[in-house]
């Protein structure tokens, strides 16, 4: 989250810095609005990382030149360092053959979808990272989780107090 905000502020700052001299030079605002709309479209169309957790327990992570296909039973630990909890780092998924870094703001979809589906991107219509981690624990109870808040469905209900003695 923190890195996304910094990136957004950087892009806005660059656009404002370029727009001010253009307006002072007499450029019509129409062209500036068109440039801003095209820039927004290009930024939004950048392919994102796609995270899928199938019903069979396979975790598929694709995008940004990576392709990870690992079964949840092989994953041994999920750690979220302190700086990553503040939004400036990665969570690390480790298994017996390697590891992968994942933004904790990533969302996952429960089943693979077509690239042309409106919900194919992990960030749209998916479930959050905590839900993903605790669903991995359903497939692998020995999974060690550090720093990831459990979703409400993973927290056991509180034990009711004993009735008073009469």
* pLDDT tens string 11-20: 777 877 877 7
- On the question of pLDDT at 56 being above 60, the answer is yes
Q: Two tokens at 92?
A: 């690390």
Residue 106 to residue 124: CA distance in whole angstroms: 10
Q: What is the pLDDT of residue 28?
A: 85
Q: What is the pLDDT of residue 17?
A: 82
Q: What is the pLDDT of residue 81?
A: 82
- Span 58-74, mean pLDDT? 83
* pLDDT tens-digit readout, 88-142: 678 888 888 888 888 766 667 666 655 555 554 444 445 677 888 888 888 888 8
- Span 36-41, mean pLDDT? 75
Q: Two tokens at 82?
A: 């302190």
Residue-wise DSSP of the chain? -HHHHHHHHHHHHHHHHHHHHHHHTT--HHHHHHHHHHHHHHHHTS---EEEE-TTSEEEEEETTEEEEEEGGGEEEEE--HHHHTTSSEEEEEETTEEEEEETT--BBSS---TTSTT-STTSS-B-HHHHHHHHHHH-TT-EEES-PPPGGGSPPPPPPPPPP-
Residue 22 to residue 10: CA distance in whole angstroms: 19
Q: Choose among 117, 105, 99: nearest CA to 49.
A: 105
């Amino acid at each position: 989250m923190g890195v996304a905000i910094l990136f957004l502020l950087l892009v806005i700052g660059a656009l404002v810095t370029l727009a001010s001299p253009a307006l002072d030079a007499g450029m019509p605002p129409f062209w500036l609005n068109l440039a801003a709309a095209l820039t927004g479209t290009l930024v939004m169309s950048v392919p994102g990382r796609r995270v899928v957790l199938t019903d069979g327990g396979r975790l598929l992570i694709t995008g940004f030149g990576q392709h990870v296909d690992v079964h949840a039973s092989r994953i041994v630990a999920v750690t979220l360092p302190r700086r990553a909890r503040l939004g400036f780092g990665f969570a690390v998924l480790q298994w017996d053959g390697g590891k992968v870094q994942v933004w904790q703001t990533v969302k996952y979809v429960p089943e693979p979808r077509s690239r042309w589906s409106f919900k194919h991107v992990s960030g749209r219509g998916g479930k959050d990272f905590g839900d993903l981690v605790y669903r991995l624990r359903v497939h692998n109870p020995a999974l060690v989780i550090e720093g990831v808040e459990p979703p409400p469905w993973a927290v056991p209900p509180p034990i009711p107090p004993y009735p008073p003695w009469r």
